[in-house]
Amino acid sequence: MRRLASYFLRGLAFGAPLAVTIYVCVRIFTAIDGWMGLPIPGLGFIVTIALFTLIGFLGSTLLAASALSTIDRAVERLPFVRLLYSATKDLLNAFVGEHRRFDAPVMIPADGSGTTKALGFITQDSLARLGLADYVTVYVPFSYSLSGRLLLYPTSQVTQLHSVSSDVLAFIISGGVTEVPTTVLPTSTLHTGGADGVVPVAAGDAGPVSRGPQP
């Protein structure tokens, strides 16, 4: 009986994530097909991918880029609509745009004691416009959630992680269940909070906290 239970749990650990993935993909394909009124399953998804690819191609041309820029400015002037448009645009650009924001994983103090740490991502390198030139914004995602917290930290308390940002994000979202990203603790600490506030930087790595490797 114990062996059967072991087989069941092993099958559950393997089959449940696969089943959930297939279910979500089918629901997405079905929803897109329903919006477009296409009878062939999956055709709507293919058409959507092709449409966005075409828009991206046209956006790379000078004439189309000018037209898209005009449309962008027009939408930005519409009340209420611009809030949703700007928020969606900034979110997508943060992950897949030319100015990615979640490509600099860092470690920060989670409380005043300095012994508890949290992982996050730098989204702004400087807050000089707010009168906080030596501060950066760090977004800390919540585990098993799509939300998180935005925190302001002085650069002296921010430690850059020399890891792939997608691996760090998966580690956070999973609650630490996934494999620990390689070189999470950097070989050279840029800045960290300590007795004197700053730990010397290793030779050749001097410089401010900067964005890490892209996913």
Residue 189 pLDDT greater than 60, yes or no = no
Residue 215 pLDDT greater than 50, yes or no = no
Paired with 8 in beta bridges are: none
Distance CA 120, CA 102 (A): 9
| Average pLDDT rounded to a whole number, residues 115-135 | 87
49 CB contacts (<8 Å, ≥6 apart)? none
Structure tokens at 200: 């010397």
Return the minimum-mean-pLDDT range out of 16-25, 118-127, 195-204.
195-204
The pLDDT confidence band at residue 25, using thresholds 50, 70 and 90, is: confident
The pLDDT confidence band at residue 31, using thresholds 50, 70 and 90, is: confident
Which pLDDT score is estimated for 85?
Answer: 75
The radius of gyration of the chain from alpha carbons, rounded to an integer in Å, stands at 22
The pLDDT confidence band at residue 199, using thresholds 50, 70 and 90, is: very low
pTM of full prediction above 0.75: no
